[in-house]
């Protein structure tokens, strides 16, 4: 594990965390580092090991090997001390359909031996208000939409103040307004000092909601860091629009850049892209093109997006719209 000072800055920390099911390895020696106070996005295709990792972090499954710390406490030994400080919505909310939303939360709150009954009504009302369900508090859950059930699940995670909130697909089934409300709610939680760990397949939501992220592939952790760090890890490219594509390719190669196949455009022009070397300034490239007799009709530096990095790391596409 990391040294004590560094560990104190992490809400979740794993070292060589491994989980196997028979001969199948679901999680393969991952080292997660989730900073306190962050909104941490946990990304990956279906079957990449995200849900299994979350279940281990919450004590719902035991690790085959490796070390796990949550809120500075070693698991599973300190699980009873950790769980009261953690709220979670995992694999979709489950409620009694013939009870109202408020009644469901009352039952769930009553099962928490760490809270007092005298303030239960106030806790339930506050949680419902925070997720925008005060108007439906008395409605039976069987009449709730999927999005309303999702928000009720988040309300359950917020019944008492938490140091860590773990959310699995928190915007699943929400309309655009509901999605914005959840996004604002998550931001308000971090303003209060809560760390939020979000597993999602909606890349647009991760980019708007999260400060840090990690990417899983086939049980392996293939990238993690702040969103800015992850974007910088992707390949930056230059894009040249010109009618002199062959001459432009020659100039780019002399500069040490390897142009890709030209993309034909209108009026005899073509777009040429090439990975940008860090040692080359964009204005120097333009100057070399002009000096080489290339008629430059357009020039752009295309920064890698989080989606570009995801595809490069996993070889799979990503849902980017709700």
With contact defined as beta carbons under 8 Å apart, do 320 and 203 qualify?
yes
pLDDT of residue 3: 53
The DSSP letter of residue 236 is P
Both 91 and 240 in one domain: the answer is no
CA distance 173 to 55: 22
- Whether 76 is in a domain gets the answer yes
Q: Are residues 83 and 139 in the same domain?
A: yes
Q: What is the CATH number of the domain that holds 263?
A: 3.30.70.260
DSSP string over 284-310: HHHHHHHHTT---SEEEEEPPPHHHHH
How far is it, in rounded angstroms, from Cα 91 to Cα 159?
Answer: 19
β-pair type (39-43, 195-199): parallel
Q: Is residue 37 part of a domain?
A: yes
Q: Are residues 81 and 190 in the same domain?
A: yes
pLDDT at 261: 81
Same domain, 25 and 70: yes
75 with 124, same domain: the answer is: yes
- Same domain? For 30 and 118 the reply is yes
Residue 209 CA, chain-centre distance (Å), reads 8
Distances in whole angstroms, Cα of residue 244 to Cα of each of 136, 238, 249, 254, 274: 64, 16, 9, 16, 16
156 token code pair = 């359950």
Number of structural domains found in the chain: 2
Identify whether residues 47 and 162 lie together within a single domain: yes
49 & 164 share domain: yes
Task: Judge contact between 124 and 105, C-beta under 8 A.
Answer: yes
For residue 68, the SS3 value is strand
Whether residues 129 and 184 fall in one domain: yes
308 part of a folded domain: no
Which of residues 189, 212, 232 is at a domain's end?
Answer: 232
pLDDT attached to residue 231: 76
- Provide the β-strand partners of residue 10: 35
The residue from 200, 232, 264 where one domain ends is 232
Q: Does residue 130 share a domain with residue 101?
A: yes
| Residue 309 domain flag | no
Q: Are residues 147 and 37 in the same domain?
A: yes
311 within a domain of the structure (yes/no): no
Helices marked H in 79-119: 79-82, 101-110
DSSP at 122: H
Do the domain assignments include residue 316? no
Q: List the chain pLDDT tens, one digit each, 322 residues.
A: 545 546 678 999 999 999 999 999 999 999 999 999 999 999 888 788 999 999 999 999 999 999 999 999 999 999 999 998 999 988 666 799 999 999 999 999 998 888 888 999 999 999 999 888 999 999 999 999 888 888 899 899 999 989 999 998 888 777 787 788 888 888 888 888 899 999 987 777 788 889 999 989 889 999 899 988 887 776 788 999 999 999 999 999 999 999 988 888 888 899 999 988 777 899 999 999 999 999 999 999 887 777 777 777 766 554 433 3
DSSP 8-state class, residue 73: E
* Residue 319, pLDDT score: 46
Q: Tell me the two tokens of residue 76.
A: 């599973």
- Residue 318 is assigned to a structural domain of this protein: no
Query: Final residue of a domain: which of 169, 204, 232?
Result: 232
CATH number of 24's domain: 3.40.50.300
Domain hosting 196: range is 4-232
Query: In this structure, is residue 313 part of a structural domain?
Result: no
Same domain for 44 and 178? yes
Cβ atoms within 10 A of the Cβ of 197, count?
A: 26
């Amino acid at each position: 594990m990391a040294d004590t000072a560094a560990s104190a800055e992490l809400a979740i920390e794993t070292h060589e965390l491994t989980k196997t099911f028979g001969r199948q390895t679901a999680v393969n020696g991952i080292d997660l580092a989730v900073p306190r106070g962050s909104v941490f996005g946990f990304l990956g295709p279906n079957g990449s090991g995200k849900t299994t990792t979350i279940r281990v972090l919450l004590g719902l499954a035991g690790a085959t090997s490796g070390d796990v710390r949550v809120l500075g406490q070693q698991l599973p030994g300190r699980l009873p001390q950790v769980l009261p400080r953690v709220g979670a919505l995992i694999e979709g909310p489950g409620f009694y359909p013939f009870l109202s939303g408020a009644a469901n939360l009352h039952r769930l709150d009553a099962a928490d031996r760490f809270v007092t009954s005298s303030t239960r009504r106030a806790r339930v009302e506050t949680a419902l208000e925070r997720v925008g369900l005060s108007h439906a508090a008395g409605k039976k859950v069987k009449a709730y939409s999927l999005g309303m059930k999702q928000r009720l699940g988040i309300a359950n995670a917020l019944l008492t103040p938490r140091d860590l909130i773990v959310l699995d697909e928190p915007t699943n089934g929400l309309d655009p307004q509901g999605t914005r409300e959840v996004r604002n709610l998550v931001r308000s939680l971090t303003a209060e000092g809560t760390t939020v760990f979000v597993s999602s397949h909606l890349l647009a939501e991760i980019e708007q909601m999260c400060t840090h992220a990690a990417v899983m592939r086939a049980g392996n952790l293939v990238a993690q860091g702040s969103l800015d760090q992850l974007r910088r890890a992707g390949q930056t490219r230059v894009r040249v629009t010109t009618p002199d594509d062959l001459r432009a390719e020659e100039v780019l190669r002399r500069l040490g850049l390897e142009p890709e196949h030209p993309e034909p455009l209108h009026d005899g022009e073509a777009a040429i892209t090439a990975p940008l070397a860090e040692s080359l300034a964009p204005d120097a490239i333009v100057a070399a093109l002009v000096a080489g007799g290339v008629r430059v009709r357009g020039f752009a530096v295309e920064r890698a997006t989080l989606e570009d990095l995801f595809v490069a790391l996993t070889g799979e596409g990503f849902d980017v719209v709700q």
